[in-house]
Amino acid sequence: MIIEPDFEKAGGLVTAVVQDAATKELLMVAYMNRDAWMKTIETGNATYWSRSRNELWVKGKTSGNIQLVKEIRFDCDADAVLLLVDQKGAACHEGYRSCFFRRITGDRFDIVGERIFDPEVLYRK
Amino acid sequence: MIIEPDFEKAGGLVTAVVQDAATKELLMVAYMNRDAWMKTIETGNATYWSRSRNELWVKGKTSGNIQLVKEIRFDCDADAVLLLVDQKGAACHEGYRSCFFRRITGDRFDIVGERIFDPEVLYRK
């Protein structure tokens, strides 16, 4: 038997927070339905539910930037999960190591993240 | 002018991920509407929208376990925000420093978090 998070609380999805297992850097936030959860457990590769594309999304399947899951935690309500991962390449489709590469100060953005690849090259047809 | 995250994408709410500014420990996940966002910016105290109570929730107002916001980041889609905070006491209402105090291994929970207070004492009427 596999323990499950609480998918009912927010309409079938739980929030998944993804940290680098070694540095604790926050890499991204995504969402999981039960299929994504089961696939993550079974394969060890982080798999999400894409809210914009409405489909299962094996992270890195297109880009090669996969996430190997090292540890999983639940929060107190079990409606959010933490994945501690070994991130290959970069988590962000814009080429940054972390999706959280913009620092906000009042009306200003500063880019504080490290860019690993150029998305125009990686995702070129 | 204050920069805002994208509240429209998910029905008026953005996901807020909260990390300890010093250690990068993931403390909790919560949600913000525009009021919560503005109040957080104006006061410097992390403020959320409680999805279960349907009300604005100044973190630590009851318990004293406030979060002083040191830095804010947006993700690439601007529908999730990262708060780097100075957490007073503990983030979790169950008394743990972090809400993510349970590690999942197959069918087993392990408590891996540090308990700071006893909620039965703190929240006693």
- Which domains are present in chain B? 14-89 (3.10.20.810)
Q: How far apart are CA B110 and CA A123, in angstroms?
A: 40
Confidence of residue B9 (pLDDT cuts 50, 70, 90): confident
Which residue does chain B place closest to A22, by CA atoms?
Answer: B24
Q: What is the mean pLDDT of residues B98-110?
A: 93
Confidence of residue A19 (pLDDT cuts 50, 70, 90): very high
A4 vs B: CB within 8 A: no
Q: What is the mean pLDDT of residues B21-46?
A: 97
pLDDT at residue B124 greater than cutoff 80: no
Q: What is the mean pLDDT of residues A86-90?
A: 97
Q: How far apart are CA B12 and CA A32, in angstroms?
A: 20
- Bridge partner list, B31: B15
Q: What percent of chain B has pLDDT over 90?
A: 81
The reply to whether ipTM tops 0.90 is yes
| Interface with chain A: mutation pick from B4, B14, B51, B76, highest number of A CBs within 10 Å | B76
pLDDT digits (tens, 9 = 90+) for A35-78: 999 999 999 999 999 998 999 999 999 889 999 999 999 999 99
Q: What is the mean pLDDT of residues B27-33?
A: 98
Surface-to-core class of residue A82, CB atoms within 10 Å of its CB (0-12 exposed, 13-18 middle, 19+ buried): buried
Token reading at B123: 């929240």
pLDDT of residue A1: 63
pLDDT digits (tens, 9 = 90+) for B69-85: 999 999 999 999 999 99
- Residues 70-99 of chain A with CB under 8 A from chain B are 71-77, 80-82, 92-94, 96, 99
pLDDT at residue B125 greater than cutoff 90: no
The pTM of this model reads: 0.94
Cβ A71–B17 below 8 Å, yes or no?
Answer: no
Confidence of residue B1 (pLDDT cuts 50, 70, 90): low
| Interface with chain B: mutation pick from A31, A57, A73, A74, highest number of B CBs within 10 Å | A73
**Residues in Cβ contact with A10 at an 8 Å cutoff, skipping those fewer than 6 apart:** A79, B51
Token reading at B121: 């004492």
Q: How far apart are CA A102 and CA A47, in angstroms?
A: 25
pLDDT at residue A2 greater than cutoff 90: no
